[in-house]
Chain A
């Protein structure tokens, strides 16, 4: 963002104009944050210095544990004291050192001059107050305006973040809004008071990729209008490239590299930065992959799904009768071949995870599902158990999917106990072998899940899924929660295991770049139906359906010199899949465009 743009901006405050130029808005000098522990103080952030200039976007990038969030909390004066505190250094803002201000002085600055938005908008909004009330309250805390004035200002703020029908939205509660809308409300709340600095901590991580595109675009627009300085904290190098004027790369509490975005991306000096950039899955990389050769016609289908439909009843009325149904999955059909990776992509609520749950027997479904030629529905207890053995699942959050009170060795061995495979000794040997295979060591068997890192936990889940030698593994967003470098390694492991054991994968993800890198064939889902299906090359080099195109367009590219053209904004939310009883969505007929490239009709 250039300086001239700020001065020209109508929203820029007049006293600010005098301070433009090289005067930094925020000056962090040799900041050290420590956590108290029995063994003495452990540094979380060490010797961190940076300046934030008026109207610029500074990205702090780093993986989990790099201290980036601690830095933002320190600026806001929100460190969980006394466990974590600033041990040395200063944070200069205006004429004050924020590290030495007391809570009352900090409260005046917080929200008013420095505002923050968090990753998860649902948890940062109060669920029992309407968004209008929360906005008005935020404004009233810091100004002496009357209720009517505050209200007008709140509506103005909602309009500024492009929320349609702002007046009506004021009465709505957080749960009535979609994730993207909620994050916009958070941004409106943060910007309503025209702060000098906006700290955005992973603002789009919890959002769908198309929504992410919209939110980032909005942040850029607002910055241009108001001249706010933004500190954007993110792990996503694509987002960094898209937003940053300057970048700080952090690792384990220290700055690894800092500088202007374009030179940093084109010629990173530090090996860590280079490695971080290399680990980012890029669109287009998959084309060069060797897997492309394999993606010809599958030999024989391991899983064939036909007319899969999942509906959930919504009961209402006095007598609690079913009045509406959620059409979560509607008439979906696909086949997964031997040793093939088939990906389902789509945004939240499109039904992709419901398909996984249906296939693993967690939700009832109608339709014809055959595993290795044998139908999986209408089985007795024993039959169902046999099917379970052949379809295994890896969940998104490895910590949530492992019983925290069991040792990991027992967890990995448990599937064999359930299916009565081997003696205790054989099982132990196999568990140890599996541990080694997924890159862990056998002496870790007696530990509990919380003693491992995120990537290691996901490896444990993979070992667990492999224990029964399944024919198909469903990976539901299995790498989404991991840092990019860890993600790359886990994906590599999955590919290796596929070659070793000949497993087919059903890979479910919202991340187009990951999907492109790992898949043989891809199906794009929208509102419970497949809108496009084909080989990876067909989908990514020749997308036909507008939704597929939109999804691919929305992926941030980790290359700041290729700043994106304006992203088309959708003014409405994704329509709801809830229909009154007796009606339903229009079934989308797929048309073959040649060589098995199926495309749905555009409605």
Chain B
């Protein structure tokens, strides 16, 4: 047994206080790791969702707001874009594809998006991956609905299921479109983006179920029955869409087109580049993240001070232990290093346990983030700089231990061989 072994046995002897100290440090480390991991995972999750989109167009609004309500289903649009504008944008030479989004309906808490086939064909997520159907097909009948993977999983829907949509996206007193039941036709494969949390209907269907709803509520007798709607399917189109996702022939065209959209004469539009707008979003949330980081750092400090307290309070009890060690040939520096070893063992155990704790919480929180934000939060190996931070915390733990180590050093010199009872 060497000095480290002695430190270990001495710690075992005081395991209750030591375990509590390790838990304190583990909690603080867990918080630090969690804040950083979730931060980067959430950011990655957001980027995944818009990685294939060059421009998002909506009615004039703040860029961050447009991004949040169009892609992430956070908040609501204040205004729509006219159908006219949509067709004009779609025809522009630099526009390769345009995905219309007609929002405003929901089904059991999930958003319903009226869109065109362009969505299934051109939307890209993550590393330029295309959407894939896990089951069924895209729209065949007018009243067909394609549902996201999470919708299917959570509501237990299979192709062929008859469902009714609700008007509005709020949670209370929704009026339902029960005169136009839809049939689940296809289920999308999981993407780990908000795509999984939505239902998709055609623009014509979106129009059909809203005939007679122009004032926001259904005018009695003004609707169109499903069969006549099917007969007129080709001419049904909405008067407006909520937002448009654009893919351009070249990314370089984005700046010019964005300016033209923002200066569009016929109506007030906002065009945003998702990547840049996300950066703006991170600048807004950055302050909160900094606060969280500072809090996490302070908690780590509290954890280390807790360890210092434990080491200092045991120092008196251990005065005899140190005199015995000294009488048996231990040198003052060896006794001092016992304390540093102990702190090292405590800090290392705390760090390992803390990282494990963060992993557990991350795994536990992942489903919640997926359901509530549509964000896929995976486990990732800590980045080198994070490992560096953990290493620095470990070193800080050793440095903190220098205080009791120094006291023990001085005391063993002063006490001589006297063993005080």
Q: Determine if chain A interacts with chain B.
A: no
Q: Which residues of A contact B (CB under 8 A)?
A: none
